[in-house]
Structures are given as C-alpha cells and as structure tokens.
Structure 1
C-alpha cells in the first residue's frame, strides 16, 4: 500500500536547546541545570545536561547528518539562559547571538527549514528563586522581553515560531507530580501557573505581530495532546473522561486557538476555589492573540475511569486527579522500555477533533516517537542500529495521520522526536529516540536504519507501507 502525502509536507524531527547543546558558555542555569547540580543522583546514571549531544560544538556536522537522513525541517529552541545576559534588563550575550545566527544560517544552507521554539522546560532557575518562576506575572513580562529579542534578532530568516513546548508538562511536572524541579505538589499554584504560561504565550504572540520582519512568518504553540478515552460508556467513566480532556487538552487548545478557556473547566476551578487570578485586560490579550498554527506532540493515549473516591471527599490539597483515575486497558500494546501504550489511531482522532472543533486550523505532528533502551542490542556487523521497531511505529502513526488528512484535516507535517539521540531530563540517555545514534562517551554519531528509510519517504512524499496496521 502506497500513501501519498501533500507536496511540501514537512518531513522532519524535533529537539531542544537544553537537550542537545550542552551548557557551554551559558550565562545562567535553567531549572534542570540547577537540579542536576544539587542532586545528580536523581538523573539516570548521574548523566546531566553539561554536554548533552554536544550540538553547541558540533552543530555543523550534526546538521549535515540531518540533511543526510532527508529532513526538510527541524525544530529546536533558543535557550533563554543562553541568549540573555541580564534577564531583568533584557540585554543579550553577543557571543551566543552569533551562535544562534550561525545555527540558523547552517540549517538554511543545508536546505532545512529552521523551526524555532522559545521555551522547552528551561526556565532560568534564578527567576524561580527570586519570584517563584511561572507563579509570577513579573516572570511573564521577562519572558516577553526574551521573546522580543528573538524576534528582533532572527525573524528576518526564521519563518516558523512557537512560544512554548508542552506547557501542561511544566504545570504537572513542577507543581503536581514531582518530575520537574522544584517538585512541588500544590494544586492552586499549578492552576495559576497554567494561566500565567498561557498569558505569556499570548503576550509573546502580540509582540511577534509587531516585530516580525518576515511577511511569511507565523507563530503557534506546541501542545502534547492525549485523547482521554473512557474505560466504558458508564456515566462515571464518561464524566471522568470529560474532565480529563478539559484539563489535559482543552485548557490550552481552547485558549490558544479560540482565545477562551473552556467554560466548564473554569466553572469547576471556581467551584473548587482554585481558579487563577486574571484581569479583564489579560483576558482580552488572550482573546485577541490566538495562534496561526499548532504543533501537536503525541506519544500515547490517556485512558481514564471514574475515581474510586468521590471528588467531594476532603483532601489536603486540590489535584485534577480527584475527578478521574488512570485506567489500564486489558490487552493494550505497550512500549515496555518506556512504559507507554502504543495506540496510533489516536493521531486520527486528534486530526478529526482539530478539523471539527478548532476551525480546522493548520497543524503538524511536532513530536512523535519511540524511546528504546539499550539500542546497542540491535547493532549489525556494519555498526548500524537496525531499529525496525521504530520504522513500524512511524509507519502506523503516518497511516492514521494520512487518514485524517484524506478526511480534510489541515495537517502539513510530521516531526519525529528526535533527529539525534539527545539528553532526556531525568531519564538522561536511558531511552533513545533518534534517527541518528549518539555515543555519549565519544560523541560519535551514526545514522540508524530508520534514518536511511525516512530519507526515501521524505524524498518522495510517499509511504510504501510494510506494516500491517493494528
């Protein structure tokens, strides 16, 4: 079976500054830099972000490898902690301005479209220690200063901008589930942080439209969408699914694409006395500065059931999970290395939801991928990793994405996470995701079988299915 994708389709991959560049020549530490400095044992094999995949020093060679696997677009991020000299004054580090200029120019010289994101979990830690990070609207204003510098410096060549990557992960990791520094559990703060990040995104979009130097320039946001499937059609399970979708998906989708937070969610948060502090002026900014297009990160579905304990039960603190429990569907397919369910059809469900409920906004798969540990198990005699499992994973997701496009969803691209194996926060290099492998001891990089396969797909805009879709 051959599947034809639209001409000009983005065939690419995504990474981020803090996960690829290393900490070379940085003025400031971000929250993960700091966490590693004070608690290295929290990170797999105590491997931190100091070197990552050495992109700061090897970007020319790395970009040539990306070209060799056929990528026509690559998303990365500009690090707030690298670009800025004085965070309060908004002054820049000229040496690192030159670095990002060189990176952008190198992508363009190699025929790769640079797609630039502004925040990838890398808040400067001093802004947390001084102001509480995203709890503070002053930090919102400092982020806007940083964004404006990026637009002034780089929008003459960069067409594609995104404000935040996975803002809900910041909310959950830092304030609910303790997998990002500062590892708090504080539902009220989590709700305010969710709002403040949306405000920061909308304000940055407003600035972009004043500063942007590129007539074709667009700006959006990257959201991790996890369709919330109910365990059954029972009323309690459906109600749990509804709230999970409101919190995990619609909060940012509605505010970013439609300019309003979902009314049902606002009503619940207000009833529970945790609703964010907002002004009419701020809400007007959010309403008037919606995104041009959307990036969707998808890895796994979310399956929920009615909570075992009533949502009205007394609790020390508010958590969104009072309204739903996790559900492990019997017989589900799993990536056992990562512990995530594999359910490619969710991509189709996302496509149709965007088509029907979000004005069929332009969008692309901005991350999708399969993290596998000990990939050296699959080295052949020529020294190449034969990652057929990754090829199958991509094929299945592209099949369902193609189905959504055929039915009218306005999707223009697919990016794998990630081009080159990169540092993955607390997991460090435990799981590998890339088209290109990294030996973290020598920084030798080698194209995997999936990279050679993807080059042919990208060159022809055609997927010749070898996998039976399940």
Structure 2
C-alpha cells in the first residue's frame, strides 16, 4: 500500500482568531437589543482566580442584577467592538489571517426570543460586520449561540428546559441561514454544548430554583438544544448545499489519576458523558451508556414525537475549544467534583493546566471516534500583561504557549487527523467569559481598559502579534 506522506498543514488551512459577541461588542442596549444572559454577569474582585465561574443562578439573582445600579457588569460594554469593528478587523487583517470566528448575539436579533419578526437593526449590524470580515479577506465562521440567550426566555420560560425554546431557536437559526446564504459557509450552532456545569446558566438559561431536579433539567435542556440543532442542520442542507454545520465541544476529556482499575473505569465513564453530545450530533443517536447514566442518577428525559428521527441530521464538522487537561479518579467522580488539577503539569494563574501534548491526544481521540473534520475553534492562555514605559508589551509566554500547541496540532495532522482550522481565542483582548474581567488577557492586540471599564480603549500590538503573523505567513512552518 502506498502512503501519501503528510508534511504539514494543507494549503488553504484556516488560520484565524475567535471572539464572542457578548465579550466584545458592548452596546448592550443599542440597536433594539434585548437583555441577554451575559448582561447579568457581574465582575467580583473578592473571588479567587481559579474559582471565577458563572455557575447556578436563581431568579432572585436575575432580578437583582437587572435592578442593580452599582455593580460592575463588564460584558455590557465589552471592548466596544460594536462601534470599532472596522478598525479592529483591519488590525486583525494585519496578522494575515484568512478566517475570523465570532458569534451573533441572539438577543440582538430577537430581543425577547419569541418575536414574530427579527429586529432589523440588529441584523443590519451583522450585515455590516460580515461584509467587513469578507472585505478583509477572511472566511467568517459564526456561532449562533454563545451565551447570549435572551434573558426573557429564562424568566418567562425556563431556558432550554422549556420545549418551546426549540422552535424559538430554530426560527432564529433559519433567519440567519436565509439572511447570510452565500456569505457564511461555516456555522457553529452552539458554543461548547457540553458545558452544563461551569457555564450552566450562561449556556442553558435554567434558573436553579425553577427546576425540582436541576441535573435532570440540564440534561433535558441539552436534549432540547440538540433537537433544535438537528432541525437547523436539516434546514441548512435544504437551502444551501455549500454550508458547513458544526457542533462544538469544550474539551473536557480527563486522564485517569492512577492505573487502579477503579480509577480507570470511573474516568472512562466520566469521559463517556463528555462524548455524549458528539455521539448524538455527529453519530445521530443516543448511546447506551447515556441510558445507564440516566437510570443510575434518576434522570428522566422526555423525547418529543419525531425527536429520534430528526437527530439523524448530523453535523458536518466538529469544533473544539482546548485550554487545559485534568485528571479524575473513582473518589472524585463519586463526589461530583469529577476532575481536578494534574500535578505533573504547570498551571496558569487561573489554575488551568498547560498541556500541549494533550491537544494531540484529544485530536486523535476525536478523529478516531467521529471521522469528521476538526477545527480548533479556541485555544489560548489567559495572562496578566504588563505595558512597558514605551508602550511595548513583551508576551513571550503567550507565543510559547501557542507555539507548543500548534506543534502538537501539526503532529496530530501527521497522525492523519483532518484538522482544517485554528482559531486562537481572543486575538484582541476581550472581557473574560468565566470571570468577567479584562485583566485575564488572551490577545495579540492589547486594549487599554481595566476590569472596571476605565481606560482609553486604545489598541496596541503585543510582541505575540508579530510572532503569529509569521506563523500564518509560513502556514505553520515557522513557529
């Protein structure tokens, strides 16, 4: 048998960067936009760095945030990308990237989520943004749902736990597909669909006091979400044969903490429930292990008429976000901590274990399981950056992190994995998702703004900007 020797990334490999509307746009009440779940994410400076997550939220928390006039809510102003996107995209074009990922804020298009007609002012903003992305020579990859559910759907309904939200999301998705047919070829329907713990409310919009069994509500919610995704996928294929629909994991596959059979089995079972979402959205049906898990945990999932058939409309590609790895053992899984820090690798200031080899491992695992093209839709290192007296920002640590991960991604390609794109997270500094702070920076481009929204908002190029530009120019050969 003659083997085709792979030497590196294919010509036309997608080199880009990724943002999210709720973390960059700001303008949270402009252009007819409604409240979204991210608008109630408050910045707090009294929580340890590695504990800053937006987890369970009550209806009382929602009400308090809406009425709060003194709290700090950085996602409401972001980096003002809503007004500066043309200038920001020119800076990103300077990197030479040929693709750009961002999201569309659901509440900007359907302010309450249930309107008969979309908000035209919101769509016109995205018309201009997409045209500008294309004008700068970048292929847009757009996410339909990236923690921007209209808040109304969480208060008047129960987020994704309410089956009515399926039709609301399908209508929203069809609106976008119709509007941007021929302009947007790559869509991710739901960002990090497996995150139902760390980003529980942000993702599913289920207030914890509105469900008698919160864990059951989450799994029912994500079932409803997957049905909606399959319906949108079916519609996309009917109207545009050139469109590519993706499902996205936040990589959460853990290593067994020891080789004790009990730890290996517990870790394996834990990982199965991480694979669940891909098994449904890429293979088209629920696996047997999910039924066992639901039985063991007294979880009852209600299927609507036709759900099994519609779930056969599987995605075209998978996307992953990859930041860190963790380990698990029988004890941690039983206690529902599920996974914890690996003592054999270094961690960031936020407790995220830095594991480049893990990226190669995970890419191979996903490819072996699904045989679908893969985009690394997020990868990056949140850091404290120091601006020197002359305005320079020397961030070799960021280049070192990304270099090591790109090298391991290349090794995965040499292993035969079909990786078609790489999107470093936050190529321009944005508000952190998990902690709502600006000081956790990922970008190649510095934004002069602090955690309280103070600063000039001036954009400055970091040393890593010039490094990544060379990576893109050489198609990953010069790292």
TM-score range, shorter chain: 0.7 to 0.9
Residue 192 of structure 2 is matched in structure 1 by 166
| C-alpha distance 41-94 of structure 1, shift in aligned 2 (>3 A) | closer
Write the distance in 2 (CA, Å) between the matches of 1:251 and 1:231. Answer: 22
TM-score by length of 1: 0.88
Question: Which residue of 195, 202, 220 maps to 1:192?
Answer: 220
Residue 354 of structure 1 is matched in structure 2 by 366
SS in 2 for 1:201: helix
Residue 245 of structure 1 pairs with residue 271 of structure 2: yes
Write the distance in 2 (CA, Å) between the matches of 1:385 and 1:149. Answer: 42
Question: Which residue of 400, 417, 423 maps to 2:408?
Answer: 400
Residue 389 of structure 1 is matched in structure 2 by 397
Structure 2: segments with no counterpart, 5+ residues? 1-6, 43-61, 450-454
Residue 365 of structure 1 is matched in structure 2 by 376
CA contact 1:171–1:193 (8 Å) conserved in 2: no
SS in 2 for 1:412: strand
Report how far residue 33 of structure 1 moved.
1.1
Residue 294 of structure 1 pairs with residue 300 of structure 2: no
| C-alpha distance 205-404 of structure 1, shift in aligned 2 (>3 A) | same
For 1:16-31, list aligned pairs within 5 A.
Answer: 16-22=20-26, 23=28, 24-31=30-37
SS in 1 for 2:327: strand
Report how far residue 341 of structure 1 moved.
0.4
Report how far residue 382 of structure 1 moved.
3.8
| C-alpha distance 70-180 of structure 1, shift in aligned 2 (>3 A) | farther
For 1:227-376, list aligned pairs within 5 A.
Answer: 227-247=253-273, 249-279=274-304, 281-286=306-311, 288-307=312-331, 311=334, 322=336, 325-335=338-348, 337-358=349-370, 360-373=371-384, 375=385
CA contact 1:246–1:262 (8 Å) conserved in 2: no
Residue 424 of structure 1 is matched in structure 2 by 432
Question: Which residue of 242, 245, 259 maps to 1:216?
Answer: 242
Question: Which residue of 443, 449, 457 maps to 2:471?
Answer: 457
Question: Which residue of 6, 12, 32 maps to 1:8?
Answer: 12
TM-score by length of 2: 0.86
Report how far residue 98 of structure 1 moved.
1.4
Give aligned pairs, total. 441
SS in 2 for 1:269: helix
Write the distance in 1 (CA, Å) between the matches of 2:148 and 2:73. Answer: 17
Q: CA RMSD in A?
A: 2.5
Structure with bigger strand share is: 1
| C-alpha distance 27-254 of structure 1, shift in aligned 2 (>3 A) | same
Write the distance in 2 (CA, Å) between the matches of 1:143 and 1:40. Answer: 24
| C-alpha distance 28-327 of structure 1, shift in aligned 2 (>3 A) | closer
SS in 2 for 1:5: coil
Residue 33 of structure 1 is matched in structure 2 by 39
